[in-house]
Homo-oligomer: A and B are copies of this chain.
Amino acid sequence: MTKLKGNVIVGQSGGPTAVINSSLVGVYKTAKDLGAPKVYGMLNGIRGLLEERYVDLSNHIQSDLDIELLKRTPSSFLGSCRYKLSEPAVGNPEFERIFDILKRLGVEYFFYIGGNDSMDTIKKLSDYGEMMGSSIRFMGVPKTIDNDLDVTDHTPGYGSAAKYIASITKEIIRDGLVYGTESVTIIEIMGRNAGWLAGAASLAEGEDCEGPDLIFLPEVAFDMEHFVEKIKELQKVKKSIVIAISEGIHLADGRYVAELGADLGKADAFGHKTLTGAATYLAREIGKRLDCKSRAIEFSTLQRCASHIVSRVDITEAFQVGGAAVKAAMEGETGQMIILKRVSEDPYICITDTYDVHKIANVEKKVPREWINESGDFVTEEFRHYVRPLIQAELTPIMVDGLPRHLTLRDKAYKRYEEK
């Protein structure tokens, strides 16, 4: 059997997902199975590596039970970062430092689990490596709840977020019916420029639920008058109205709806603005304009960390892309990201493949316009057909004393604050 010819290092970057640690396990287990002497984990991604903060993962994943726990652990096990590398060039001290550390650790294989911005890191590192004639292979492992990575059929993390969103949307719709009174509920779902997550709320519709009434995605310019008119129409036929919106919906002139009512947050390291408050603003406007009860519910952080309800398909694929990255690197590939290819619709079958990270990094995949209805306020059946396989089946949490158990880094002292 072919074996890995050196040590491995793996990092996690960007916003976490409920299954990002399943990819970490995929890298770790496959690397160990393929004979990696050491598998290091960068703490807080490339930023931590630059500070020489890393662990030997074997000290932290000590048993098969640890592996099962880690798959079910939300938030990046190794910590994350939002760090943009400078441009690679001979003599760039940032790159010299990274390659020096990797050399000292005997690392031949470098894996980075992340989204768009993280693929930019892989691209730059592999470019620099090529420039310097380094033998180290750099592979990207896709993850993001946003599903906005190009080329890949979908990204691990999206299916679980979609399952969570659809599940709680069902619960919220039922809750809204309880008093039989008129109300408008606006749920705000993550998604800055792409509406994949908000669209997933449509899956709530089924034999036991009528689903949300309207869905607004950032792919279509938001029109306040259309919004109000639609609600007025709905109010003629039903009492409890539930509307899903992406946090990033914006007007035709480009202004975010969130900007209309609230202060904007600071931009992050990649220049993305923090958006929040679109639903609150719209709920207030509807309350005023239509003189009815309205409320906003922000799904918030739990969209990316609700490990207590994940998709089995998603968690399995998250593991697979991690493992596939190790295999591909062993076979000599570098500067590639693992992608998922849907080779069959019915039954749903996805396989992994590799794709040049240069063509993926910094490209955002949006919901195709033809998967949104003409009036721009719902997704089509094609959209749902695409998402439905990704939310199938479950991975039961391992419950201890009534709560889901997680795995944590063993050297972290989880001591309570003395004064508490």
Contact = CB atoms under 8 A, between A and B. Distances in A.
Interface of A: 15-16, 43-44, 48, 73-76, 79-82, 163, 166-168, 170-172, 174-175, 177-180, 203-211, 213-214, 230, 233-234, 237-238, 297-298, 300-302, 304-309, 311, 373, 377-378, 388, 391-394, 396, 399-408, 414-417, 419-420
Determine how many copies of this chain the complex contains.
2
A59 to B, nearest CB: 17
A11 to B, nearest CB: 13
B305 A174 contact: yes
B44 A205 contact: no
A353 to B, nearest CB: 25
A161 to B, nearest CB: 13
Contact of A163 (B43, B377, B388, B403): B403
A404 B207 CA distance: 12
Contacts of A211: 416
A16 B176 CA distance: 10
Contact of A300 (B297, B309, B402): B297
A403 B204 contact: yes
A79 B408 CA distance: 43
Which of A76, A167, A168, A420 gathers most chain B CB within 10 Å? Answer: A420
A252 B346 CA distance: 63
A307 B302 CA distance: 16
Given A81-B179, A82-B179, A178-B75, A172 B305 contact: yes
Contact of A178 (B80, B401, B414): B80
Contacts of A207: 414
Contact of A306 (B81, B171, B179): B171
Nearest to A185: B301
A273 B205 CA distance: 33
B16 A170 contact: no
